[in-house]
Structure 1
Amino acid sequence: MKALAAALILGMSMPAGAQEGGGLEESVTTVALPGGSDLSVVVSKQPASKPAVAALLFPGYPGVLRVQNDAGKPSFQLRGNFLVRARRHLVSDKMLTVMVDCPRARWESCDDAYRTSDQYAQDIGAVIDKVKADYGVSKVYVVGTSYGTVSSAFLALKLGGRIDGAVHTATFTDPRTGRQAHGTPMRDFNWGAVTVDQLFVHHKDDPCPLTQYRSIVARKGNAPLVTVQGSKGARGEPCDAFSAHGFVGRERPVMLAISDWILSRKVQETVGADNSED
Structure 2
Amino acid sequence: MRYVMTIVALCLGVFLSPRTMAQEPVLEESVTTVSLPRGTELSLVVSKKPGSSPSTAALLFPGYPGVLRVEVQNGAPVYQLRGNFLVRARRHLVSDQVMTVMVDCPKDRWSNCDDDYRTSDQYAVDVGAAIDKLKADLGIGKVYLIGTSYGTVSSAFLARKLDGRIDGAVHTSTITDPRAGRNRNAHGLPMWNFDWTATHVDQLFVHHQDDPCPLTQYRSIVARRGNIPLITVLGSKGARGEPCEAFSQHGFVGREQVVMRAIGDWIATRKAAETVGEKGDE
Alignment TM-score, normalising by the size of structure 1: 0.92
Assess if the C-alpha contact under 8 Å between 2:33 and 2:43 holds in 1.
yes
Separation of aligned partners in 2, 1:44 and 1:180? 32
Assess if the C-alpha contact under 8 Å between 1:39 and 1:104 holds in 2.
yes
Among 227, 248, 254, the alignment partner of 1:249 is: 254
Assess if the C-alpha contact under 8 Å between 1:16 and 1:80 holds in 2.
no
Among 77, 86, 90, the alignment partner of 1:87 is: 90
Identity %: 71
Q: How does 1:236-275 map to 2 (within 5 A)?
A: 236-273=241-278
Q: Structure 1 counterpart of 2:186, which letter? A: A
Separation of aligned partners in 1, 2:124 and 2:259? 27
Q: Describe the shift of the 1:235–1:31 C-alpha distance in structure 2 as closer, same or farther (beyond 3 A).
A: same
Separation of aligned partners in 1, 2:78 and 2:185? 29
**Aligned structure 1 segments of 4 or more residues deviating by more than 2 angstroms:** 15-22, 274-277
Offset, 1:276: 8.7
Q: Describe the shift of the 1:60–1:17 C-alpha distance in structure 2 as closer, same or farther (beyond 3 A).
A: farther
Number of residue pairs aligned between Structure 1 and Structure 2: 263
Assess if the C-alpha contact under 8 Å between 1:16 and 1:79 holds in 2.
no
Q: How does 1:1-278 map to 2 (within 5 A)?
A: 16=14, 18=16, 22-178=25-181, 179-273=184-278
Offset, 1:71: 1.8
Q: Structure 1 counterpart of 2:149, which letter? A: S
Offset, 1:135: 1.3
Q: Describe the shift of the 1:45–1:222 C-alpha distance in structure 2 as closer, same or farther (beyond 3 A).
A: same
Q: Structure 2 counterpart of 1:233, which letter? A: G
Assess if the C-alpha contact under 8 Å between 2:45 and 2:102 holds in 1.
yes
1:12 is aligned to none
Q: Describe the shift of the 1:16–1:33 C-alpha distance in structure 2 as closer, same or farther (beyond 3 A).
A: farther
Assess if the C-alpha contact under 8 Å between 2:236 and 2:279 holds in 1.
no
Which of structures 1 and 2 has the bigger CA Rg? 2
Secondary structure at the counterpart of residue 57 of structure 2: strand
Assess if the C-alpha contact under 8 Å between 1:204 and 1:228 holds in 2.
yes
Offset, 1:133: 1.3
Secondary structure at the counterpart of residue 266 of structure 1: coil
Separation of aligned partners in 1, 2:280 and 2:165? 38
Offset, 1:34: 1.4
Secondary structure at the counterpart of residue 56 of structure 1: strand
Separation of aligned partners in 2, 1:132 and 1:217? 35
Q: Deviations over 1:195-251 (max 9, x none)?
A: 000000000000000000000001111000000000000000100100000000000
Separation of aligned partners in 2, 1:43 and 1:274? 34
Secondary structure at the counterpart of residue 37 of structure 2: coil
Moved more, 29-38 or 15-24: 15-24
Q: Deviations over 1:30-71 (max 9, x none)?
A: 001111110001000001101111000000000000000112
RMSD (Å), alpha carbons:
1.6
Offset, 1:134: 1.6
Assess if the C-alpha contact under 8 Å between 1:253 and 1:276 holds in 2.
no
Secondary structure at the counterpart of residue 169 of structure 2: strand
1:6 is aligned to none
Q: Deviations over 1:2-40 (max 9, x none)?
A: xxxxxxxxxxxxx84647985100011000111111000
Secondary structure at the counterpart of residue 221 of structure 2: helix
Alignment TM-score, normalising by the size of structure 2: 0.90
Q: Structure 2 counterpart of 1:182, which letter? A: H
Assess if the C-alpha contact under 8 Å between 1:147 and 1:172 holds in 2.
yes
Assess if the C-alpha contact under 8 Å between 1:250 and 1:276 holds in 2.
no
